[in-house]
Structure 1
Amino acid sequence: MLKDFFSKKKKYASVPRKEAKQDIPEGLMQKCLGCQKIFYRKEMKKNLHVCPHCEHHHPLNAGERIDSLFDEGSFQEWDQQLVSANPLHFPDYEEKLEKDRNKSGLNEAVVTGKGEINGFETAFAVMDSRFRMGSMGSVVGEKIARAIERAKESSLPFIVFTASGGARMQEGILSLMQMSKTSVAIQRFRESGGLMISVMTHPTTGGVSASFASVGDYNFAEPGALIGFAGRRIIEQTIREDLPDDFQTAEFLLQHGQLDKVIPRSEMKHVLTTILDIHQPRGDRP
Structure 2
Amino acid sequence: MALDTSRAQIVLQSWLDANAKQLNNFILGIYGVGDDSRPTHLGTCFLVNGISDRYLITAGHVLNNKSEMSLKLLTPTGFCDLDEPFFRSVVRNGNPSTDIIDIAFLPLSNNLLHKLKNLEGLALDCLNSVPDTNSGHILAAAGLPSTKNEPDHRLRHIQVQPYLISGAAKLCPNALKDFGFSDSTHLFIHHSKRHGFFSDGTRTNSPKLIGMSGGPVLYLGSDAQLSAPKIEYGKIRVVGVLIEQHKNYSVLIGSKVGDLPNVFLRLETPKV
* TM-score by shorter chain over 0.5: no
TM (norm. structure 1) is 0.22
More helix by share: 1
- Bigger RCO of structures 1 and 2 (CA < 8 A, at least 6 apart): 2
TM-score, normalization by structure 2: 0.22
Structure 1 or 2, whichever has the larger Rg, is 1
